[in-house]
Amino acid sequence: MTGSTPSPPRSRGSGLSLGRPFGIPVFVSPSWFLVAAYITFSFGVVVDRQVGDLGPLRYAVSAGFAVLIFLSVLGHELGHCVVSRAFGLPVRRLTIFLLGGLSEIEREPDTPSRDYLVAVVGPLVSLLIAGVSFVVAHALPPDGVARLLLGFTAWSNLLVAGFNLLPGLPLDGGRILRAALWRLTSDKWTGTRAAAYVGRGVAGLVVLFALLSAYDGRSGGLGASGNVVLFAVLAIFIYSGSGQALRAAAVGSRLPGVSARALARRAVLVSGDQPLSEAVRQANEVGARGIVVIDSVGRPYGVVSESAVASTPVQRRPWMPVSALARMLDAGLTLDADLQGAAVLDAMRSAPATEYVVTEPDGSVVGVLTATDVAAALEAPAMA
């Protein structure tokens, strides 16, 4: 199972770091070692059957196959990452985990053709690895270990490519379907919703396939129950990913209603040496919910959060200058009032904070934009 996900939550890379090929941080999750151990011990039976009893060396051969599978998944995911970076989409990291690989891309492609190319390159890399493995394998002695490993690597990559091309999100085939529907409807989120619902159908078919393949006609029950567990995990992963895509579509369809100017709270402008109690009084007098600190020529240089005001006891406010509570307006904490839609989220993502000062092009203050207000606008049932 491989795939890519745009704009996941920020977190530190977990697992073993493998460096930065193509400038992309690569990590191996501890869960992948469970797969490696399973391959190492289970593939030994195949080794004995195909090339004879190698004794304990069978496990070294099996471990080699696990490494080849790892490199195949890594190649698949690097394909997604390299194309994404070529389109100017930052890649946070690449993680190999229990079910395959995950490429964490900061933003989604802005056109259906780019979305298609980012999605399709992964399966194409898998098909390329399969083709090269087949050609090299058939040039080797028929009963050798190398031919066995390359042959199974080829078949494994064919399976990875075929499975990922199933037309439902979050699989690569789902992103290809979304790109096609996006092109047809000129609406990215319509394509996302449709591909996500298809993904839920794919999850159901995976479970059905597992049950049918494990059914034992002689006993009237399930035979290879291990396959049922494996496919059930895959189905849960697909169903969960399709749900995330539906939620992203719900948020994305509301993005046009997100405006820095419209969502900015009214704010009062005060000097840094003014007592907090007086700043609060002025804000209450005009119905403002923001306090912006300005310098001697009227330029904003700080913002006071509601939480900072609320945490200051009333009896201390007359003796507390607002500058003592203000957060300095570092780079990125001042937003242009004309920002709309995804541009607002991109600006906030580049400089995470709870409050931002919204200004006109001439530098005059419009108000204070809070992260909670933006989140509430994206979660609202409808936008005006």
Instruction: Say what the pLDDT of residue 3 is.
Output: 58
| pLDDT tier, 227 (very low <50, low <70, confident <90, very high otherwise) | low
Residue 381 has pLDDT above 70, yes or no: no
Instruction: Say what the pLDDT of residue 346 is.
Output: 87
Residue 164 has pLDDT above 90, yes or no: yes
- Mean pLDDT to the nearest integer, 92-114: 92
Least confident of 272-276, 357-361, 379-383: 379-383
Per-chain mean pLDDT for the chain: 89
pTM of the model: 0.79
Instruction: Say what the pLDDT of residue 228 is.
Output: 74
- Mean pLDDT to the nearest integer, 69-95: 96
SS (H, E, C) 162-185: HHHCCCCCCCHHHHHHHHHHHHHH
Compute the C-alpha angle 288/293/294, nearest 5°.
115
Instruction: Say what the pLDDT of residue 246 is.
Output: 94
- Mean pLDDT to the nearest integer, 41-67: 87
**In this structure, what token pair is assigned to residue 139?**
């040039």
Instruction: Say what the pLDDT of residue 229 is.
Output: 77
DSSP state of 94: E
**Using a CB cutoff of 8 Å and minimum separation of 24, what contacts does 112-116 make?**
112/179, 112/180, 112/182, 112/183, 112/188, 112/191, 113/179, 113/183, 114/87, 115/175, 115/178, 115/179, 115/182, 116/175, 116/176, 116/179, 116/180
Handedness of CA 183, 186, 191, 192 (dihedral sign): positive
Going by C-alpha positions, the residue among 3, 81, 26, 1 that lies closest to residue 245 is: 3
| pLDDT tier, 7 (very low <50, low <70, confident <90, very high otherwise) | very low
Contact 353, 371 (CB under 8 A): yes
Residue 224 has pLDDT above 70, yes or no: no
Least confident of 67-71, 138-142, 276-280, 366-370: 138-142
Instruction: Say what the pLDDT of residue 378 is.
Output: 87
Q: What is the percentage of the chain residues whose pLDDT exceeds 70?
A: 91
Whole-angstrom distance, CA of residue 258 vs CA of residue 345: 9
Dump pLDDT digits (tens) for 304-334.
998 999 999 999 999 999 999 999 999 899 9
Contact 69, 153 (CB under 8 A): yes
- Mean pLDDT to the nearest integer, 63-87: 96
Going by C-alpha positions, the residue among 153, 21, 9 that lies closest to residue 96 is: 21
Instruction: Say what the pLDDT of residue 11 is.
Output: 43
